[in-house]
Amino acid sequence: MDSQVQIDPIGYLSLELRKDTGAHYTPLILANFVAAEISNQIDQTINRKIRILDPATGDGELLLALLRKLSSLNNSSDLEVFGFDTDSNAIRTASKRIKSEFPNIPVLFYNEDFLEYAIRYGRNDLFTPEIEKFDIVIANPPYVRTQVLGAKGAKRIANLFNLSGRVDLYHAFLLGIAMILKPNGVTGIITSNRFMTTKSGASVRSAIINEYKILHLWDLGDTQLFEAAVLPSVLLLERKNGIEKYHIPGFTSIYTTSAKEIYREVTNVIDALNYPGIVKTETGQTYDVKVGVLDHGQMADGIWRISTLNLEKSLSRVKANSFCTFGNLGKIRVGIKTTADKVFIRSDWNTIPADERPELLFPLITHHSARRYRMIGASKPLFILYPHTVIDGKRTTVDISKYPKTEKYLNENKSILEARDYLISSGRKWFEIWVPQNPDFWIKPKLIFRDISEKPTFWIDLDGGIVNGDCYWLVCEKPGGDELLWLALAIGNSTFIEWFYDNSFNNKLYSGRRRFMTQYVEKFPLPNPNTDICKKIINLTKKAYEMVESNELTAITDELDRLIWKAFGLSVEEIFR
């Protein structure tokens, strides 16, 4: 907080309310960083008024930081400040702070929704009133996801800004800012990094590339600059003017690391951004800082990731040594969803007398079973009542009249099951599981993995278990499927795949956790299974499965790691030297 104005700018907002509204106000260290990057782009010879906007003003920290930077430049420009916020208390706080420090700068705040303003005045058509657009926009838009916006609110925003998928409010702000920014105008935007890699962010990525020249972006990862669990990024953008020269955007990322060899000690996270390599801050936290350029593939809506010359050489070698991907083996599916777990899933079926216990009980695999190679055996295993089968190649429900104990149990719970109106209205039978998947696949060997974990956790089920909706799974549908599945198991649990994931998808959560979901795992590469090295990998993986609780497992997995890197034409020493 600036020492000249002693105000508690967010004291009137509880943490819970800030989460609901997305009002995560900007820390001073980050505000100063964004302001400095914007001011570095401003032509100091400009001799006219510079119109500055913050579309989500909050406590005014961003505007103050920018005004301090711009007022120190050696030019004769005048400054005009504008701001929007739907919170009148925030506006009063921001206004008081700015007027106290910069009494001669004109300030005009609007207690209204910036997005409404952008739609009203930002469209380029004959029916839109003309406004003078802005030279600089500095912003930390609210992060409000679809489930908070509500279905109607999300749909309206998606329609207004031509967005698709799961819309977050900050998606609309990114596009709304483009609508009111002058050609060659500059904006610095603090936002969640999620849009860079998710399917729901594809339309936003495409729109940014179409509307802006990307000057630089910073993925601030799990640096915990905000109180809330937001993984922030900073975008430095210039509004296109139609005659842009070819430009490759710079990209810097920073994430926590457990690496022991420290390249440099720095003051703080922002200072660390200047030093590629492993750095340690004064607080004792260690980070891996990478500096390169933005790569989004051949498509405007492609995943955004950092690229360096050495990284591209390594990834090219992986591609050259790849036989296929996990997605080529078969469709990656999420597990079953009953929408009535208390009826279908239990660990106490044995409390029902044997002569009354339903016949259609099968073991259920959940994330609690997760362990590399072979799942953990639970002391109280879960079983699921699964009333589905396949007849003549088509999934259907069983004839429960042939299973009297199952029929009796389901009828005892009929009122609960019939309350699932969405199932009944879709023409399904009242005792069905909402998402049963393919019953024929359960008996086959399955590669299973959990969604969120620090380390990839893949295991094989050979016992015909049914996978719950908290895990993903894969049945190999290619010839030679069993051997390919064992090879995939080895690759999925390797340090190689951690490196490949981090450098191909650029999507980490807090504390180094990763999302192992379909859109990423389906792109995991497999080397040629017919080579001698891969045959050795497959045999060792089967041994790891059998000896998962043995003291020899570490030696086996270390050897697997070495062989996997070699199968892709790489080595750990080469990558991490």
More reliable by pLDDT, 255 or 165: 255
Q: What is the pLDDT of residue 128?
A: 61
Mean pLDDT of the chain: 88
Give the burial class of 258: count Cβ atoms within 10 A of its Cβ; 0-12 exposed, 13-18 middle, 19 or more buried: exposed
Q: 553-567 and 481-492 helices cross at what angle (nearest 10)?
A: 100
Q: Which CATH superfamily is domain 15-248 in?
A: Vaccinia Virus protein VP39 (3.40.50.150)
Residue 28 CA to residue 225 CA, distance in Å, equals 10
Averaged pLDDT for residues 485-505:
94
Residue with tokens 């179409």: 210
Q: What is the pLDDT of residue 227?
A: 65
Q: 389-444: per-residue pLDDT in tens?
A: 999 999 999 999 999 999 999 999 999 999 999 999 999 999 999 999 999 999 99
For residue range 161-192, list pLDDT tens digits in order.
877 777 788 888 999 999 999 999 999 999 98
User: So what's the pLDDT on residue 17?
Assistant: 42
Residues of the chain above pLDDT 90, percent: 67
Which residue in this structure is represented by tokens 């005659």? 243
Predicted confidence at residue 301, as pLDDT, reads: 87
pLDDT, position 2: 33
**Band of pLDDT at residue 24, cut at 50, 70 and 90:** low
The single residue listed with the structure tokens 């030019």 is 75
Q: Are 456 and 505 in contact (CB under 8 A)?
A: no
pLDDT digits (tens, 9 = 90+) for 122-148: 776 655 667 789 999 999 998 765 555
Write out pLDDT tens, residues 266-317.
Answer: 999 999 999 999 999 999 999 999 999 999 987 888 889 998 888 899 999 9
DSSP assignment, residue 507?
-
CA distance linking residue 253 with residue 193, whole number of Å: 11
The residue extents of the domains of the chain are 15-248, 317-330+478-577, 331-475
Q: Distance between CA atoms of 543 and 291, rounded to whole angstroms?
A: 40
pTM of the model: 0.76
**Distance, CA of 217 to CA of 201 (rounded, Å):** 16
| Amino acid at position 499, single letter | W
CA pair distance 554, 560, nearest whole angstrom: 10
pLDDT score at 74:
59
* pLDDT range class, residue 214, cuts 50, 70, 90: very high
Contact between 290 and 253 under an 8 Å Cβ cutoff? The reply is yes
- Of 329, 340, 386, 380, nearest to 361 (Cα)? 386
Cβ atoms of residues 25 and 59 within 8 Å = yes
**Residue 175, Cβ density class (10 Å: 0-12 exposed, 13-18 middle, ≥19 buried):** buried
* Both tokens assigned to 279: 């750095």
State pLDDT tens for residues 73-129: 755 568 999 999 999 999 999 999 999 999 999 999 999 989 888 888 877 665 566
Q: What is the pLDDT of residue 16?
A: 46
| Confidence tier at 14 by pLDDT (50, 70, 90) | very low
